[in-house]
Homo-oligomer: A and B are copies of this chain.
């Protein structure tokens, strides 16, 4: 007895990755419905060796759905997520539509799994660049405390969708003509100006607010505070798009406020945390890089070192696959935690349909 699952945005980069990961992790789904916009309806997708036709995402499609993963953009989530909840589905939304809604839990299972107990049918999956950072900071916070974070990001184009990968590929073949490359997508498709990303670094992800910060930067600031349950944490961010296909990197500076924290014990805290791989051996030139984090589940950390002047403050380099832990994998881990904790909507607290062990991994 498994679950009926829907994937909304099934033809997009994240939707496809969700399907692949459901299969790979033996997620207890009896049935998976592939949904998308009218434009993409009719597309065929492969799942568990069978071909499935993508259907148009309309409210009635959520009848009988237990768990719905949304990753078709904020407007689709705003239009359909509550319709799905009303029909009995538990929605895990991968857009920014509800992340800062006080009634919607914003969850990275390694950090704040407990808040899943209080959901009302809708759970938000955080922004990709936020997820990998809080995964790295949480074990440090637990052991030493955390007072301040200053992050500069190095973000991959796949965060802007599959089309952006194609644009980078076309531009990349012409290094000589790089300054004249055609650009139609980045930094923001709907924006008035587009710049080549190949052989460039664009200090804009998402649109600008009035204060000079981009929405991506505010996501990192506000979502980090919400997920970590630290409304007064000082966080500030600069977000930059790079000519990298997949894999976000982050230069994270943090102050624990704890002069007892030393490099070795911080590294040990990271090494002992779920979902973190420490790659930190400078002499052997071992450190995380996005090119080698692609396709991997973990958050990779390295280059840990003390601030020369400020006790208890450190630099850390954090890399993860933005489509996996940054999106699809975290969404599925939320679903697995819901099942394990008996918190899929409509179930009793005893989780009568529980097919997942306490670690959130599927039991065959």
Contact = CB atoms under 8 A, between A and B. Distances in A.
Contacts of A308: 221, 236
Interface in A138-193: 150, 152, 154, 168-169, 172-173, 175-176, 178-179, 187, 191-193
Contact of A150 (B235, B245, B253): B253
A41 interface: no
Contacts of A172: 172-173, 175, 198-199
Interface stretch (A95-103, A270-278, A298-306): A298-306
A243 interface: yes
Interface string A198-210: 1111111000100
Interface stretch (A13-21, A285-293, A348-356): A285-293
A175 B173 CA distance: 8
A24 interface: no
A282 interface: yes
Contacts of A204: 282, 285, 287
Given A236-B308, A289-B200, A175 B179 contact: no
Contacts of A310: 234
A251 B152 contact: yes
What copy number does this chain have within its complex? 2
Contact of A212 (B154, B235, B291, B303): B303
A160 to B, nearest CB: 15
Interface size on A, as a range, is 35 or more
A306 B201 contact: no
Nearest to A195: B289
A211 interface: yes
A240 B154 contact: yes
Contact of A306 (B211, B234, B302): B211
A156 B309 CA distance: 28
Nearest to A187: B285
A359 interface: no
Nearest to A222: B308
A246 to B, nearest CB: 9
A238 B303 contact: yes
A219 interface: no
Contact of A196 (B193, B211, B291): B291
A333 interface: no
5 contacts: A152-B238, A172-B173, A199-B244, A203-B288, A236-B253
Given A211-B306, A234-B309, 10 more contacts: A154-B242, A173-B175, A187-B285, A193-B285, A200-B291, A201-B244, A213-B305, A236-B253, A238-B303, A238-B315
| 5 nearest A-B residue pairs (beta carbon) | A212-B305, A152-B152, A152-B251, A200-B291, A208-B282
